[in-house]
Homo-oligomer: A and B are copies of this chain.
Amino acid sequence: MYGRYTQDLGTFAKDEAARLRLQEGDTARPRHPSELLEYTQGRCGPCRVCALQCQRFLISKVGEDWVFLILLGLVMALVSWAMDFAIATCLQAQKWMYGGLDTNVLLQYMAWVTYPTVLITFSAGFTQILAPQAVGSGIPEMKTILRGVVLKEYLTLKTFVAKVIGLTCALGSGMPLGKEGPFVHIASMCAALLSRFLSLFGGFYENEARNIEMLAAACAVGVGCCFAAPIGGVLFSIEVTSTFFAVRNYWRGFFAATFSAFIFRVLAVWNKDEETITALFKTRFRLDFPFDLQELPAFAVIGIASGFGGALFVYLNRKIVQFMRRQKTINRFLMKKRLLFPALVTLIISTLTFPPGFGQFMAGQLTQKDTLVTLFDNQTWAKQGISDEFEYLGILEAWLHPRSNVFVTLVVFILMKFWMSALATTIPVPCGAFMPVFVIGAAFGRLVGESMAAWFPDGIHTDSNIYRIVPGGYAVVGAAALSGAVTHTVSTAVIVFELTGQISHILPVMIAVILANAVAQSLQPSLYDSIIRIKKLPYLPELGWGHQEKYNVRVEDIMVRDIRYVTLNCKYRDLQQVLHSTKMKNLPLVESAESMILLGSIERTQVGALLSNQLSPHRRLLTLRQKALSEDGHRLSDPSIRFQISTETSSGTPARPALRKPLKPALKRVSSSPADSPPAGSTDHTGIALKSLFCANATTEPTEEEMILGDKMTPTEILEWEEQQLDQLVDFSSAKIDPAPFQLVEHTSLHKTHTIFSLLGLDHAFVTSIGRLVGMVSLKELRKAIEGSLTGKGVKVRPPLASFRDSTASTTEADTTALHQLWDRHQHHHMPREAGPGGDDDDDTTKGQ
């Protein structure tokens, strides 16, 4: 959320300053009355002035948060409603086709199977072609984006279109897929697009921190308008996407999600689907005695079983993905025919659910929505002894099979849907897993509830009143528990209350959800974290519940001690060596190799730019020209002095504009060995790099003379010249330096480090000890430390009795030594060798240890 704290703060500040100046220029003007004069000159002057002021007023309003949130809520409600409508039409069409062909079972089967296969294949193909980023849930990606990582192409219009159309087709096929995860993604894309659109009216939407706040609100809108559950939506999106949540952004989510849910339900009323605004899956359980105290153990059992089930689901899902990736022959074949896998999976699943076939044992003809409605039903399906008398009304009939009973149907349904859902969610179409899991959980709860009802036909309560057991309540509990276990969230409890419109089962639901979470979290990561790991997204894992031992690991145990650095008094040759020897994106800038005082950090690209500028053909040509001039005219002393002077002057007036863009050829030279530089140098001088440099400078044009002068230099001369250049001291004045990189101390615990990294969205931090750089910790080390594999490269394993080491005496001794070094240095002033080569890759970093 607060990403990019250190990385490009300076850049950001400067950009913002520039932006503000522009903005100030825009908004400062209207205050000046003379500017309006030109309009008043015309015939309809007053009108124009009025219109102008209105326009400005409107534009200023556009910048306010609530306008944005209302627009977002409105758009998302419309999208959600339109999609639901389209999906319902698709499902209706399938039903109609299936119903119309009831004369021939084979035709019926063909229709039942072909329809979803075509839809899924189209969805997969369409998404693949338009935007492959639209595949899958989107919540893992949003979690990563909200942490401050920029994922390319994830919030574009193309992805939006691909996701909306792909999702509609995928859900219209009747496969066990959900719309909730993708909706989080769709809402985020909608927010990103909306803010880009609104920024046409003013610069309000260019602030990145604000955009990320809006993205967080958009996630809430996504869940909120999908389930018409504003509160649950906000909480679910917080739990699923955030690590730290700013309470001041709370209202944004509530505001937008409530508005969106409101519009979403109002559309249903206007469309005459509903009489008034009610819950999506309204239940009618009795209010006066929702459940007996003695039923609570059964609810607890549902919770614990759901915990195991949820963990199993995540495990199964991951194994399927890994299996598909590992089998190289299958993989290679599927890579060629990308659409074969979705088609195959759909074929299998739809064959198994074919109602006259195996589907009759698992209520195959019901859509996901109908299934939920029947599962949450108020009645008891299986009454001991009187099962035959009981009338299965309407769609409830699907659960009844003449040759089996409800329990068998439920068990088959749960088992089949379990692997089907785990398999279906691996299809490369936009789809979520929340709703399928929710349905399975409801079926499991119903199974337990029906069993309880069969066991205690007149309820457990022994008083005068007979309160029968309500299996529908168990279904609600099961749904919340299993979906909570899979997603590792507690807010599914709130979602079920909002979905069913009843809160009377609050305690059973809460108990089951918490137990399910406890079990699932100790066994497996959440589904979204599992996907993050599979996709290798840059995200920091959570510390987990029992992080007691994490307090004992310190930064000094996991940090990389052997880091490359840039000193203030280094030479260009040293820069080259540093670039060769490390791949770090941010290099620490220290005062000198002796003091190791951290001054700031400099980006790798900046170092490359410095180096390429120093070795640029342009500078070489300039040198040549000056040489030629001096040879022709005054015949000055040797060129090395001239170089010195030119460096001094250039540091006073740095040629900044050209520096932002790293120059390709020069950079290539750096990465190649010095031996093959002459040919590279000789081909460079008329290349694009040269031209771009001149164009950027824009004051001096590339004259023929310069070109000729450049050509005059032989490769050997160029090599010589470059070697000379590399021996000069680096002039940092033109480089962008982050003046306050984030610093930790060696004793910071892993727990605290994790907190700080999550809070500020860091991806690296330098470890300092009284100003001296001693190491560095990046996300990689932290992730390794948390995942327990401390044996990686450059990472020290903490000895078993490490905590003994950190006694007060030894700790302070290290501190003292470090301080003494500094102090002694001051006492005796600097040694002459300070001017010597710095930045060579020695192990100075660990000298003070």
Stretch at the interface among A107-115, A181-189, A308-316, A821-829: A821-829
Question: Which residues does chain B contribute within 8 Å of A747, judged by CB atoms?
Answer: 9-10, 13-14, 17
Residue in chain B with minimal CB distance to A774: B739
Question: Which residues does chain B contribute within 8 Å of A641, judged by CB atoms?
Answer: none
Given contact pairs A207-B551, A245-B244, A502-B503, A826 touches B568 in the complex (Cβ within 8 A)? yes
- Asked if A511 CB lies within 8 Å of chain B CBs, one says yes
Chain B nearest CB: distance from A163 CB in Å? 26
Question: Which residues does chain B contribute within 8 Å of A769, judged by CB atoms?
Answer: 739
Question: Which residues does chain B contribute within 8 Å of A542, judged by CB atoms?
Answer: 248
A247 adjacent to B246 (CB under 8 Å): no
- Asked if A277 CB lies within 8 Å of chain B CBs, one says yes
Which chain A residues numbered 507 to 558 have a C-beta less than 8 Å away from chain B? 507, 510-511, 514, 517-518, 542-543, 545-546, 548, 551-552, 554
A265 adjacent to B656 (CB under 8 Å): no
Residue in chain B with minimal CB distance to A488: B251
Residue in chain B with minimal CB distance to A545: B65
**Extra A-B contacts (9), CB below 8 Å, given A20-B806, A502-B504:** A18-B808, A24-B803, A238-B247, A246-B755, A276-B289, A277-B507, A501-B503, A501-B504, A651-B820
Residue in chain B with minimal CB distance to A292: B276
Residue in chain B with minimal CB distance to A14: B808
Which chain A residues numbered 565 to 592 have a C-beta less than 8 Å away from chain B? 568-569, 589, 591-592
Which of A's residues lie within 8 Å of B, judged by CB? 2, 9-10, 13-14, 16-18, 20-21, 24, 28, 63-66, 204, 207, 209, 230-231, 235, 238-239, 242-248, 250-251, 254-255, 258, 261-262, 265-266, 269, 275-279, 282, 284, 287-293, 461, 463, 465, 490, 493-494, 497-498, 501-504, 506-507, 510-511, 514, 517-518, 542-543, 545-546, 548, 551-552, 554, 568-569, 589, 591-592, 597-600, 651, 654, 656, 729, 731-733, 737, 739-740, 743-745, 747-749, 751-752, 755-756, 759-760, 768-771, 801, 803-804, 806-808, 811-812, 815-816, 819-820, 822-823, 826-827, 829-830, 834-835
Identify A732's interface contact among B269, B548, B819, CB under 8 A: B819
CA gap between A269 and B771 in the complex, in Å: 63
A63 adjacent to B548 (CB under 8 Å): yes
Question: Which residues does chain B contribute within 8 Å of A827, judged by CB atoms?
Answer: 569, 729
Within the oligomer, what is the number of copies of this chain? 2
Question: Which residues does chain B contribute within 8 Å of A760, judged by CB atoms?
Answer: 756, 759
B248 adjacent to A543 (CB under 8 Å): yes
Given contact pairs A282-B287, A759-B244, A497 touches B507 in the complex (Cβ within 8 A)? no
9 sampled A-B residue pairs with Cβ under 8 A:
A14-B811, A16-B749, A207-B551, A246-B755, A254-B510, A276-B289, A599-B822, A651-B823, A654-B816
Question: Which residues does chain B contribute within 8 Å of A292, judged by CB atoms?
Answer: 276
Given contact pairs A501-B504, A740-B745, A808-B14, A598 touches B819 in the complex (Cβ within 8 A)? no
B231 adjacent to A751 (CB under 8 Å): no
Given contact pairs A9-B747, A243-B248, A598-B771, A826 touches B569 in the complex (Cβ within 8 A)? yes
Residue in chain B with minimal CB distance to A597: B597
Question: Which residues does chain B contribute within 8 Å of A250, judged by CB atoms?
Answer: 239, 490
B498 adjacent to A503 (CB under 8 Å): yes
CA gap between A262 and B508 in the complex, in Å: 9
Identify A600's interface contact among B66, B510, B771, CB under 8 A: B771
In the A-B complex, list the 7 residue pairs whose CB atoms are closest, starting with the nearest: A13-B747, A599-B771, A17-B806, A20-B803, A740-B743, A258-B510, A739-B770
Given contact pairs A231-B494, A275-B289, A287-B501, A816 touches B243 in the complex (Cβ within 8 A)? no
Identify A830's interface contact among B275, B490, B733, B829, CB under 8 A: B829
Identify A258's interface contact among B511, B731, B743, CB under 8 A: B511
Residue in chain B with minimal CB distance to A801: B24
Question: Which residues does chain B contribute within 8 Å of A829, judged by CB atoms?
Answer: 829-830, 834-835
Q: Quick one: which of A463, A592, A756, A812 has the most chain B CB within 10 A?
A: A812
Given contact pairs A569-B826, A829-B830, A744 touches B740 in the complex (Cβ within 8 A)? yes
Chain B nearest CB: distance from A791 CB in Å? 22
A768 adjacent to B755 (CB under 8 Å): no
B293 adjacent to A277 (CB under 8 Å): yes
Identify A209's interface contact among B230, B269, B751, B830, CB under 8 A: B751
Chain B nearest CB: distance from A525 CB in Å? 13
Question: Which residues does chain B contribute within 8 Å of A568, judged by CB atoms?
Answer: 822-823, 826
Chain B nearest CB: distance from A235 CB in Å? 8
Question: Which residues does chain B contribute within 8 Å of A289, judged by CB atoms?
Answer: 275-276, 278
Q: Quick one: which of A248, A569, A751, A827 has the most chain B CB within 10 A?
A: A248
Identify A243's interface contact among B9, B246, B261, B733, CB under 8 A: B246
B506 adjacent to A230 (CB under 8 Å): yes
Chain B nearest CB: distance from A618 CB in Å? 21
B245 adjacent to A490 (CB under 8 Å): no
A2 adjacent to B759 (CB under 8 Å): yes
A497 adjacent to B490 (CB under 8 Å): no
Identify A820's interface contact among B262, B600, B733, B815, CB under 8 A: B733
A490 adjacent to B254 (CB under 8 Å): yes
CA gap between A814 and B518 in the complex, in Å: 55
A807 adjacent to B654 (CB under 8 Å): no
B815 adjacent to A507 (CB under 8 Å): no
Chain B nearest CB: distance from A457 CB in Å? 19
A21 adjacent to B258 (CB under 8 Å): no
Given contact pairs A230-B510, A807-B17, A819-B737, A204 touches B2 in the complex (Cβ within 8 A)? no
Question: Which residues does chain B contribute within 8 Å of A494, judged by CB atoms?
Answer: 231, 494
Question: Which residues does chain B contribute within 8 Å of A589, judged by CB atoms?
Answer: 770
Chain B nearest CB: distance from A398 CB in Å? 25
CA gap between A66 and B517 in the complex, in Å: 13
CA gap between A542 and B248 in the complex, in Å: 8
Question: Which residues does chain B contribute within 8 Å of A517, judged by CB atoms?
Answer: 251
Identify A815's interface contact among B28, B230, B737, B770, CB under 8 A: B737
CA gap between A261 and B231 in the complex, in Å: 20
A64 adjacent to B737 (CB under 8 Å): no
CA gap between A656 and B811 in the complex, in Å: 13
Identify A803's interface contact among B17, B275, B461, CB under 8 A: B17
B819 adjacent to A511 (CB under 8 Å): no
Chain B nearest CB: distance from A302 CB in Å? 15
Residue in chain B with minimal CB distance to A493: B231
A278 adjacent to B820 (CB under 8 Å): no
CA gap between A814 and B313 in the complex, in Å: 58
Q: Quick one: which of A28, A290, A490, A554 has the most chain B CB within 10 A?
A: A490
Question: Which residues does chain B contribute within 8 Å of A14, judged by CB atoms?
Answer: 747, 808, 811-812
Identify A17's interface contact among B238, B254, B808, CB under 8 A: B808
Question: Which residues does chain B contribute within 8 Å of A518, judged by CB atoms?
Answer: 66
